[in-house]
Chain A
Amino acid sequence: MKIQQAVWKETRKIAIGVLLLSCLMILGFIGLGYFDYTVPLGALLGTVGAVGNFFLMALTVQQITQQIHGVKRNRPADVDEQKENKPEATGNDETEEDPLTAEEQADLREQTLWAKKKMQRSHALRMVMMVVIAIIGLKISCFHPVAVMVPFLFPRIVILINSFIEKRKGV
């Protein structure tokens, strides 16, 4: 499976942000006087966990969007012809709802249900992965427990900072 450009782009953004925040966290540990070799090791494990979780999630989203083929492709040519020949009611294409046939609606419902189940299964598996990483970080003494757990929370901060920067650029 080829990984889409959007997945790489978003993952790269998150990875850079999480790495920077992890460095800040290590500086915080140094400032507080708790620094030893376990802190960078723990930060590394936590960063790998957080970025890996994000990447797997993005990969699942990509798989889902690739599998969704779109209902209009199944539509026979005469349905589109009928639609084209139909006189415009309001003349405003954007506000008009595109009617789907009963068969298309059923197909769409089936695809939607499949996507929902796949995402929920992926979420559960990724949560298990995070629990395993957290337990490794807590049980093995070469990792600092706090340094392992804190990077799990960084992706959201990176997304918030990114959206803030993009908003500022937009203004």
Chain B
Amino acid sequence: MIELAIGIILGCCALGAGIALIAGIGPGIGEGNAVAKACEAIGRQPESKGAVTSTMIMGCAVAETTGIYGLVVGILLIFVAPNSFVNILLNAVSNLPK
């Protein structure tokens, strides 16, 4: 029974990490689109290159953090959460009245 519970914990952690890492896809697409539009703007007005570069760097950094949030959550779910949850489960089982 405990093995089954541990299996469910590990499976759910892996599933959660996979779902959290989906957050990395959006910023990649978004950044690509933002840069594409910025390039279009530079293409039309090459003299605005400096201003567009600065604004784009900041915009991309803000967009990217969303992906990093997902990455942090996913990595914690893979490497930290399973041990913690299994320890909690084992403690709870050992404290059960016999």
**Chain B stretch 42-84: residues in CB contact (< 8 A) with chain A:** 42-46, 49-50, 52-54, 56-58, 60-62, 64-65, 67-69, 71-72, 75-76, 79-80
Q: Judging by beta carbons under 8 Å apart, are A111 and B68 in contact?
A: no
Flag if B75 contacts A149 (CB, 8 Å). Answer: yes
Residues of B with C-beta under 8 A to A117: 32
**Bound form: Cα–Cα A63–B50 in Å:** 13
Q: Is there an interface contact between A65 and B53, defined as CB atoms closer than 8 Å?
A: yes
Whether A6 contacts B57 in the complex (CB less than 8 A), given A120-B28, A152-B72, comes out as: yes
Q: Which residues of B have CB within 8 Å of A16?
A: none
CB-contacts of A30-49 with B (<8 A) = none
Expressed in whole angstroms, the Cα–Cα distance for A7 and B54 within the complex equals: 8
Distance to closest chain B CB from A1 (angstroms): 14
Which of A20-28, A77-85, A122-130 forms contacts with chain B?
A122-130
- Which of B4-12, B33-41, B90-98 forms contacts with chain A? B33-41
Choose among B50, B52, B65 the residue that contacts A155 (Cβ–Cβ < 8 A): B65
Asked if A113 is at the interface of the complex by the 8 Å CB criterion, the answer is: yes
Contact status A54-B61, CB under 8 Å: yes
How big is chain A's contact interface, by range? 35 or more
Interface size of B by Cβ–Cβ distance < 8 Å?
Answer: 40
Provided the pairs A57-B60, A70-B46 are in contact, do residues A10 and B54 lie with their beta carbons within 8 angstroms?
Answer: yes
- Is A14 touching B39 in the complex (CB atoms < 8 A)? no
Q: Interface digits, A53-74 against B, CB 8 Å rule (1 contact, 0 not)?
A: 1100110011011001111110
Complex contact B35–A64 (CB within 8 A): yes
| B75 interface neighbour in A58, A71, A123, A138, Cβ under 8 Å | A138
Q: Please, what's the 1-or-0 string for A1-21, where 1 marks a CB less than 8 Å from any CB in chain B? A: 000101101100010000000
State A120–B60 Cα separation when bound (angstroms).
11
Q: Decide yes or no: A57 and B39 within 8 Å by CB, A70-B46, A72-B46 being known contacts.
A: no
Check B35 against A61 for contact (C-beta < 8 Å). yes
**Is the C-beta of A161 less than 8 angstroms from some C-beta in chain B?**
no
Cα A146 to Cα B68 with chains together (Å)? 14
Q: In whole Å, how far is B94's beta carbon from the nearest beta carbon of chain A?
A: 26
* Distance in angstroms between the alpha carbons of A112 and B35 in the assembled complex: 8
Least distance between B62 CB and chain A CB atoms (Å): 6
A63 to B80, CA, bound (A): 38
